[in-house]
Amino acid sequence: MPGRLFVVATPIGNLGDLSPRAMEVLRAVALIAAEDTRHTRGLLDKFGIETPTTSLPAFAEGQRAGAILERLAAGHDVALVTDAGTPAISDPGEKLVVEALAAGVTIIPVPGPAAFVAALSAGGLPTGRFHFLGFLPRQVSEAKAMIEEVQALSATLVLYESPRRVGDTLASLAQWLGPRRAVVARELTKLHEEFVRGTLPELAERYAGVEVLGEVVVLVEGRTGDTRWTEDEVKRALVTGLSSGERLKSLTTELSKRAGWSAHDLYRLGLTLKD
Ligand code: SAM
C-alpha cells in the first residue's frame, strides 16, 4: 500500500499561522518535499521538527518527482511544502500531485495560508466570484492577451506580482481595464501589512517609479457594466497607448469596447492629443 501525500500550507510571513495540524503532520511523515530545503529547515527548526527534507524546486519539479513517488510507493508518508503559503498555488506541487494521483496515492490537503485568500478576505472588493490569474506573463503582449480574456468577467481579478513590477503592471491594467476599483495588498500577515485602495489609474500614479518593499497581491474589481470613463481617464489611456506606439485607429476601436465612449468620439479626442 503506498504512503499518503500531505499537501501542507505554511505561513506567508507570520509563523503563528502554522496550524497545529500542519505541525503534527510535518513531525509525523517520513519525508518533507520542500521547494527550498534550507528555507524550510529554518521553519522546522523553529518548531523543533527533525523530519528529513528533500528538494522539489519549481525549475526541476518534473525531474525530482520520481524519487518522491518511489518513497510513496514504498509506503512512506510524505509532506509537500513550499517557501510560503499553499503548495501548487503559483508554486511547485501541481505536477507531483497529478503524478501521485496517477500512481494511486491518496492526497490529503492540510490547508492554511494563501496570499490571495488573505488579500480577498480583507480587501473589500466583491468575493462572491473571483478569478485567480497568478503572475501575469512577462511579455506585455501575452499579459495583454490574458487580460483581454478576462476583461468581460464580473468576477474580482486576483494577481500575484513581484514588487519590482507593481508600478508597471498597475499602469498596464489601468490602460487595459480603465478606472476600476483595485487594491494593492502588501506584506500580508507581516509587520508592515498594508492595503492601499483606489482606482487603477490612481494606484498606477501612486506606484509609478516607486520601489515597493515586500510582497504584493493585486485585486481588481470585475466588470460592472455601467462604468463610463471620465474624459481625464480616457485621455490618460489614449496618451499611454499613443506614447507606447499604438496606432490611434486601433487604439480607439479597442478602447471603445471598454470605456463607454464611441470610437468616433475617442478618435476625435485622440487627434487633439496627437496635435
Ligand atoms: N503559494 C503561495 C500562496 O499560497 O499564496 C504563493 C507563492 S508565489 C511564488 C509568491 C507570491 O505570492 C508573491 O510574489 C506575492 O504576489 C504573493 N505573496 C506571498 N506572500 C505574500 C504576503 N505575505 N503578502 C502579499 N503577497 C504575498
Sheet strands side by side (includes 181-186): 130-135, 156-161, 216-220, 181-186, 194-199
pTM score of the predicted model: 0.86
Of ligand 1's listed atoms, the one at least distance from the Cα of 82 is 1
CATH superfamily, with its number, for domain 4-113: Tetrapyrrole methylase, N-terminal domain (3.40.1010.10)
Ligand 1 atom 8, closest CA: 90
Q: What pLDDT is recorded for position 48?
A: 97
* Angstrom distance (rounded) from CA 275 to CA 82: 53
Q: What pLDDT is recorded for position 74?
A: 97
CA of 74 to the centre of ligand 1 (A): 34
Residue in the block written with cell 487595459: 176
Q: What pLDDT is recorded for position 256?
A: 84
Q: What pLDDT is recorded for position 87?
A: 98
* Angstrom distance (rounded) from CA 46 to CA 222: 41
Residue type, position 208, single letter: A
Which residues have C-beta atoms less than 6 Å from ligand 1? 12-13, 82, 84-86, 89-91, 114-116, 160-162, 185-190, 215-217
Q: What pLDDT is recorded for position 31?
A: 98
Of ligand 1's listed atoms, the one at least distance from the Cα of 190 is 23
The class that CATH gives domain 116-220 is alpha beta
* Angstrom distance (rounded) from CA 114 to CA 43: 17
Q: What pLDDT is recorded for position 227?
A: 67
Q: What pLDDT is recorded for position 207?
A: 95
Of ligand 1's listed atoms, the one at least distance from the Cα of 13 is 23
**Could you report the average pLDDT of every consecutive run of 10 residues in the chain (275 residues)?**
97 97 98 97 97 93 92 98 98 96 97 98 97 96 95 96 94 92 98 96 93 95 81 87 88 84 88 83
Q: What pLDDT is recorded for position 226?
A: 64
Kindly list the domain boundaries of the chain, sorted by start residue. Answer: 4-113, 116-220, 231-274
